[in-house]
Structure 1
Amino acid sequence: MATLSASAQDNGEKPTSETAIAPSTLETLLSFVNLRKDLQADIKALNRQIQTTHSDAEKISLKQRLEKLESDLKTTNRNFENIAAGVDMTTLRGEPREEFNLQQEVFALVRPAIDEMKEMTARVRQKSELKKKIAYYEEQLPVITQALENITKLKQAGDNKALIESLKQTEAQWTKQQTFIQSELQAAQLQLDKLSSAETSLAEASQSYLKSFFQKRGLYLGLALSVVVVIVLLSRLIAASMQRYIPGFRAKHRSFRVRLVELLHRVFTVLFAILGPMAVFYLVEDWVLFSLGILLLFGIAWALRQTLPRYWSQIQLFLNIGSVREGERLLMEGLPWQVDQINVYSTLINPVAGISQRVPIDDLVDLKSRPSQSDEPWFPCSKGDWVILNSGIRGKVAGISHEMVQLVERGGARMTYQMADFLAASPRNLSVNFRIKEIIGISYRLQKESTQAIPETLQAYLFKRLHEEGYGDQLLNLRVEFAAANTSSLDIMIIADFKGELGDLYNRLRRAIQRWSVDACSEYDWEIPFPQLTLHGAVSAAD
């Protein structure tokens, strides 16, 4: 190297970074050489000690030290070769690499956070250990005291010198044990008293720890929060740009490509918002916050483990390729709905009832939609329609909501029904078209004319009266037919169809048809008989 540098200087050129050797590298190599000499000398000395010693226990200890020195020497040689070569020589030596262990790698990532938690709870754990230690020694002392008392009694009662000597040795042994336990108990008690005297309240300790935590890492947390804010702002700017420059992005019904672009944008926004703070903690080398972030990610991953299939279904719905699709019909909460728009919050409408709702996309995962036919009903009525319930109640629909339907009767009385009860009442809508059927009975004296002449005459008479009173334009159909031969009368059926404009006059028209029918009977001298039962009852009363 010196020759190369000299030749470069002779040519008037400055030595390049490739030919120059850093002084720190040479110093490091020299330190490795010295360290290797010291290790080799220590190894030789230990070998001599092992050969000269006669104690097995000492030999074992010396061999353990020798193994440690040999391992250090091997590491020093390997580092010397790597630094001298400038590359990692492990692959050339054929040394086996350590197998990948996922558990160890994960533990290495989260260890700083665990160490921080251990440090935070060190006093509490130390107090707990001391209390256990004190309780253990307090249990042992009475046993030793009792044993010493028994030995003293045996010494006093015994007369054999060998027995007394053995008892004295045992007594001395247990006395030492008693002294040791007492000293350990006192030391533990003193440590516990010291910790208790220096202990603060839980609130103060928590406040102090949090204050210290944020003083150390407040800047890093602020940087991480700033990164998240920047990512969110950039995401909004990108979303605004996509709305402006991507055709069909703002359309009500968007294509699969547009939906896929928006989905990827949302996914990457969440991903960068998570990884951004982690990158900050990594760059500033705050491994505690980095480990806490790793633990948080593990917690999120564990929580998503069970819900991942549901999120996949939501993605399919968002892309409009799932079980519910835009423009189709589905049944939800007992009502049919048209899927107007699918997004993170989807819009459902009922086109006839005039109601809509915004539901999260998760509520649609368990549902399915189907194409709707043009003749399928959406709701029995619209706001402003007149309906008759199966109970006979008639009213105008004043309001429809998801929960209730309100009717206004003639005169202004309001009746409110829950949606399920209203649908169960089978409401009959009068606001499109409706039919009125009325029956009038005539005497058997008119039997010859009852099937043909009288119905024709009555139909003409009713038609004239309907036009005279202003109902002719709303009349769709009018028929008068013979209905049945009843017990005391010949029944004639009047069938009148009207437009929905007269739905509010339903009962008035029924009364008018009855009135006009009676007027026709009076004008044409058609007898309206009493029921036979009523007539016979009247005759019996007269007798």
Structure 2
Amino acid sequence: MGTYFSNKSFFLFRAFLTGRTFLTGLVLVWAGLVYSPAGAQQETPPAQQDAPVEEITQEEEDSQQQLVNALLSLSESLQARRERLDALTVEFGALEDDIDKTAQEAEIEGLGEEIVQAEQEIDLVVLGLQARQYTIDGTVTEKTELKDEVAKIFEPIIQSLKRATEPARRMEELRLLAEQAESRITVADLTLENLNIYRSAETEYPAEVQERLDRYLEIWAERLQESENLALALDEQLANAKRAQGNSFKQFSQDFGNFIINRGTSLFLALGLGIGFLLLCQGIHMIAAYYYRRSHDGVLSAAMRVFAMMLSIIGVVGGFMIAITIFNIRHDWLMLAMSLLLGLGISWTFVRSLHSLLEQARVLLNLGAIREGERTVINGIPYKIERLSVYSKFYNPVLKGGNLIYPVHELLGMHSRPVIKGEVWFPTEIGDWIVRDGHHYQVMDQTPEHVILQKPGGAEDFVPVAEFLGTLFEVITNGYCAKYRFGLDYKHLSDAREIIPKKISAAVKARVEKELGKGAIIAIDTRFIAMGDSSLLFDVMVDLGPGYGKHWRRMQKYINCAVADMCLENTWTIPFPQLVIHKGA
């Protein structure tokens, strides 16, 4: 009753189904953000949360002490670098050689970079990675450009993504920094090994070279110690971050509860009211379609289809607007931004596929080349178009599985014509007897894909429909004509016109009625048709009624036996074919 209307609303989504890659990604992002525990609409203030006081274990005390030791070591290294920088600055002012000044200036610049790096490492040990987020979140800038204003609208989405992935990103960054520290330790060890090779050699170096070796050894020893301290501090921070994750099930329960209380309520109201409005419009469709089809022979007019499509548009757009209004009233800016983004995606894909959608709309309004209630041909098989909708229904009454469902976009380019009363929907029906390529078959099954033919002995042939329809065959279920030809000698020419045909017809009729019963023969005719090269030719034609198709092959036997009996009874001679031999000169 309401197939057309219940499916009609899906046509409106064809616009964005063509852009399924974009929208699939959008839906996945939406699903992730909806459950983001950090993106809940309202969060419990920290002051109202009861923070349980846990006892500090010995492991945590050792960890804290290791962090303190690492901080002290890094501070000493920083102080030593600063003292070294002050000393180099004083020496740089006393130098007069340009080459020495250039080398000294490069060393001072490198030492300054190391001091900055050491200060950053101390900040990392003391504050941790989370301190960086403070200055990022607190940055507020005035934006006046259109693209920046659009970015502000979708800023909650980005922020929710960042908050949802912050713990994982922090852990990954700590791992990367720890790997860098281990790499520095390896480089420092290799460098110190190279320096010790020269120091262990029993060679007197010039004073300048010896001083350079000692200075390099001191610098790289400090770098090794710094890298080891930093690696230790990063390992401790990584371990603390893992311990800080706490009970996963408890955190999940808390996040899920916040979702249900805040964003879950908004989603429930928005989806419930939006879908409810859409179902209301669909209910009006179904009721209107039911009463209209009852009074118009089951076919919808173009005006009724336009009315149905308008109600479908109102249902979809109205449901979407209701959802946006709910998010706006409940101040759920994240879901509001996601809804707007979804609307933009739908609009974009709708515009891109506008031409195709207009053609499909013509088909759904029953104004195209293919129309409801008419006859069309699909893969060589005729079908009746029972229903035109987003998923249209085609039906063939004589085929098993003759119900086909086609999406509306595959109907473009198809044609139909009005159905003529009494016309055939398939050449055969299940149970029919046919003669194909000189063989006798019964049709056991027929579907849109294949036809199963059974021989009288029980063997079956599976024939594809295209091959079956491409060959000539004779359906003999409702009656057929059995033919038989024989010849007699020329000495019976005087009886060929009347006597022989009458006797043959009587004999054949008697034999067939004996085997098949009276009423089997509708008509019988024996004719003298020609004077052949060596005999007089006669044709016996027996017309049988419906229900005798399975006796087609036996009929040849019955006629042959009747003709043979009459030849013996009347001493008619059946000549052999004459063979003429010409003797050469």
TM-score by length of 2: 0.59
Counterpart of 1:385 in structure 2: which amino acid? D
1:379-408 Cα offsets, whole Å, 9 max, x none, are: 22234533223252243x455444554567
Determine the structure 2 residue equivalent to 1:255. 301
1:231-279 Cα offsets, whole Å, 9 max, x none, are: 2441233224423676878752221121222223233333334443333
Deviates more, 1:122-131 or 1:332-341: 332-341
Determine the structure 1 residue equivalent to 2:573. 528
Label 1:122 to 1:139 Cα distance change in 2 as closer, same or farther (>3 A).
Answer: same
Does residue 184 of structure 2 align to residue 140 of structure 1? Answer: yes
Label 1:431 to 1:148 Cα distance change in 2 as closer, same or farther (>3 A).
Answer: closer
Determine the structure 2 residue equivalent to 1:368. 414
Q: CA deviation at 1:223?
A: 1.3
Determine the structure 2 residue equivalent to 1:31. none
Counterpart of 2:309 in structure 1: which amino acid? L
1:415-459 Cα offsets, whole Å, 9 max, x none, are: 574553654664411134422211122123224544x34565457
Does residue 332 of structure 2 align to residue 286 of structure 1? Answer: yes
Counterpart of 1:116 in structure 2: which amino acid? S
Does residue 387 of structure 2 align to residue 387 of structure 1? Answer: no
Cα separation, 1, equivalents of 2:308 and 2:408: 18
Counterpart of 1:137 in structure 2: which amino acid? A
Does residue 179 of structure 2 align to residue 119 of structure 1? Answer: no
Label 1:240 to 1:368 Cα distance change in 2 as closer, same or farther (>3 A).
Answer: closer
Q: CA deviation at 1:511?
A: 3.8
* Structure 1 SS opposite 2:485: strand
Cα separation, 2, equivalents of 1:418 and 1:111: 64
Residues 533 and 578, structure 2, Cα contact 8 Å, conserved in 1: no
Determine the structure 2 residue equivalent to 1:55. none
Residues 260 and 319, structure 1, Cα contact 8 Å, conserved in 2: yes
Determine the structure 1 residue equivalent to 2:52. none
* Structure 2 SS opposite 1:393: strand
Equivalent of 2:396, from 324, 344, 350? 350
Label 1:106 to 1:442 Cα distance change in 2 as closer, same or farther (>3 A).
Answer: farther
Q: Which structure: larger Rg? A: 1
Aligned CA-pair RMSD = 4.6
Cα separation, 2, equivalents of 1:203 and 1:533: 105
Counterpart of 1:325 in structure 2: which amino acid? R
Q: CA deviation at 1:125?
A: 0.7
- For structure 2, list consecutive stretches of 5 or more residues without a partner in the other structure: 1-141, 580-585
Matches of residues 190-339 of structure 1 in structure 2 within 5 Å? Answer: 190-199=236-245, 209-243=255-289, 251-297=297-343, 311-339=357-385
Counterpart of 1:219 in structure 2: which amino acid? T
Counterpart of 2:485 in structure 1: which amino acid? I
Equivalent of 1:446, from 488, 492, 495? 492
Cα separation, 2, equivalents of 1:126 and 1:145: 29
Q: CA deviation at 1:510?
A: 3.8
* Structure 2 SS opposite 1:121: helix
Residues 522 and 545, structure 2, Cα contact 8 Å, conserved in 1: yes
Determine the structure 2 residue equivalent to 1:159. 207
* Structure 1 SS opposite 2:207: coil
Residues 109 and 294, structure 1, Cα contact 8 Å, conserved in 2: no
Cα separation, 2, equivalents of 1:334 and 1:203: 61
Label 1:326 to 1:481 Cα distance change in 2 as closer, same or farther (>3 A).
Answer: farther
Deviates more, 1:208-217 or 1:457-466: 457-466
Cα separation, 1, equivalents of 2:519 and 2:444: 28
Label 1:286 to 1:454 Cα distance change in 2 as closer, same or farther (>3 A).
Answer: same
1:508-530 Cα offsets, whole Å, 9 max, x none, are: 5444433443454456x351326
Residues 459 and 480, structure 1, Cα contact 8 Å, conserved in 2: no
* Structure 1 SS opposite 2:574: coil
Counterpart of 1:381 in structure 2: which amino acid? T
Determine the structure 2 residue equivalent to 1:65. none
* Structure 1 SS opposite 2:572: coil
Residues 434 and 503, structure 1, Cα contact 8 Å, conserved in 2: yes
Q: CA deviation at 1:189?
A: 2.9
Determine the structure 2 residue equivalent to 1:478. 525
Residues 137 and 181, structure 1, Cα contact 8 Å, conserved in 2: yes
Could you tell me the percent identity over the aligned residues?
22
Cα separation, 1, equivalents of 2:406 and 2:247: 46
Cα separation, 2, equivalents of 1:262 and 1:192: 62
- For structure 1, list consecutive stretches of 5 or more residues without a partner in the other structure: 1-74, 76-96, 535-543
